[in-house]
Amino acid sequence: MSAAAKRPPVFAIAAAAVAVTAIVWFVFVRGSSDAPALQSAFPAVAALNDGAPPKNDAPPERRPSPFVAPQDAAVASVRDLCASEKWTDARAAIARLFAGDLPDESRAELATLAGRVHDRLFAPPGAPDLELYEIVSGDNLTKIAQRFKHLKGCYGAIMVLNDIKDPNATLRLGRKLRVPKGAWSLVVDKSLFTLWICYEGAPIRSYRVAIGRDEKTPAGTFTVGNKNPKPAWYPPQEMIADLKKDGVPIPIPYGHAKNPLGEYWIALDHKEHQGLGIHGTNDPASIGTRASNGCIRMDNKEVMMIAWTAAPGTAATIVE
């Protein structure tokens, strides 16, 4: 073999290099004019980078992830306030959130946190939210509630804070009852089938409820209106003809099998939604379901606590 045949194929190598360079230029450099079309196909990614390509050589910005819902951050801040034992601030934060638009799990967590908050705020002897009342001869809950104008004659608040089960129970002379100074409200979460009694906007007691079938229970803010024990029922106009055919008297008296109102009726007033209320039931198995004609149904014993606590004018918010 000659010396010329042993030399490396220099020209062949050079030609191959030129060809590779040309391919790279056409694909990656010239082809980069298509980049805007690719970017517009992923607007969410472009938004994360404020419309600019990411700078891998720069330190990452310290800002909240855009995928963290504002509610999640707000609930986390309540956790932090509780961890720091800032109980009054925590309750105020819960109150700002609780009757608003929240995921079910967030509302449930806030209710749990509120329990911790109330345990701390109502525990000290000198708690700023409370007055202490010493029971004297002849006292009963009705008389005691009438001594405090802000309770508007409703003694349920005293029962809640002093764990009194029966309003007719004998009150021991000399016992000191905790009497709350703040405001009460109600919140109903339709998807959780739960009603909460709230103190200063933060939940303190919960109850299972039934709501309207076919989305008949509207969301919104109502006020408690008239309250009637042992109520008669005035059925909707479209039901009256069929009920009369069956010999049912109109209005349907308390205790009648066709009267769904149970032991108590608490009207919910609203300028756009008429005829809604919170009431007991003659069908306890329906609690926790969508079963009513739009009203909030409760266990007959539990609805009494709402009646004893919520005075006319009390805010009642229904959320999805």
- For 256-279, what is each residue's pLDDT tens digit? 999 999 999 999 999 999 899 999
Q: What is the mean pLDDT of the chain?
A: 83
Q: 221 in helix, strand or coil?
A: strand
Instruction: Say how far apart CA 35 and CA 266 lie, in whole Å.
Output: 64
Is residue 5 pLDDT above 60, yes or no?
Answer: no
289/6: higher pLDDT: 289
Is residue 21 pLDDT above 60, yes or no?
Answer: no
Give the tens place of pLDDT for each residue, 64-97. 434 446 778 899 999 999 999 999 999 999 999 9
Residues of the chain with CATH 2.40.440.10: 208-319
Amino acid 19: pLDDT: 52
Question: What dotted CATH number matches 208-319?
Answer: 2.40.440.10
- Using pLDDT thresholds of 50, 70 and 90, give the confidence band for residue 132: very high
Contact 291, 283 (CB under 8 A): yes
Is residue 220 pLDDT above 60, yes or no?
Answer: yes
Of 204, 195, 116, 200, which is closest to residue 162 (Cα–Cα)? 204
Residues in the chain: 320
Which pairs count as long-range contacts for 241-250, CB under 8 Å and 24+ apart, including other chains? none
Of 11, 318, 79, which is closest to residue 187 (Cα–Cα)? 318
Give the tens place of pLDDT for each residue, 146-185. 999 999 999 999 999 999 999 999 999 999 999 999 999 9
Instruction: Say how far apart CA 297 and CA 88 lie, in whole Å.
Output: 33
What are the beta bridge partners of residue 317?
187, 221
CA distances from residue 189 to 85, 158, 193, 199, 314 in whole angstroms, order as listed:
28, 25, 6, 17, 17
Count, in order, helices (H) and strands (E) of the chain: 11, 11
Of 67, 99, 73, 177, which is closest to residue 133 (Cα–Cα)? 177
Is residue 56 pLDDT above 50, yes or no?
Answer: no
Contact 177, 192 (CB under 8 A): no
Amino acid 129: pLDDT: 86
Percent over 70 (pLDDT), the chain: 78
Q: Measured in whole angstroms, how far is the alpha carbon of residue 211 from the centre of its chain?
A: 15
Instruction: Say how far apart CA 203 and CA 43 lie, in whole Å.
Output: 41
Is residue 217 pLDDT above 60, yes or no?
Answer: yes
pTM of the model: 0.77
Is residue 55 pLDDT above 60, yes or no?
Answer: no
Amino acid 36: pLDDT: 33
- Using pLDDT thresholds of 50, 70 and 90, give the confidence band for residue 318: very high
Rounded to an integer, the average pLDDT of 200-221 is 97
Instruction: Say how far apart CA 291 and CA 116 lie, in whole Å.
Output: 33
Amino acid 72: pLDDT: 85
Contact 319, 190 (CB under 8 A): yes
- Using pLDDT thresholds of 50, 70 and 90, give the confidence band for residue 50: very low
Query: Hey, what are 177's tokens?
Result: 């009852």
Of 21-30, 108-117, 152-161, 206-215, the least confident: 21-30
Give the tens place of pLDDT for each residue, 278-287. 999 999 999 9
What sections of the chain are H helices per DSSP?
3-6, 10-24, 35-40, 43-48, 70-83, 87-98, 104-121, 141-147, 156-162, 237-245, 300-309
Cis peptide before 66 (omega within 30 of 0): no
Rounded to an integer, the average pLDDT of 42-67 is 35
Burial of 74 (0-12, 13-18, 19+ CB in 10 A): middle
Amino acid 259: pLDDT: 96
Residue type, 60: P
Instruction: Say how far apart CA 89 and CA 320 lie, in whole Å.
Output: 26
Query: Hey, what are 206's tokens?
Result: 């919960």
| Residue 160 CB coordination number (10 Å) | 21
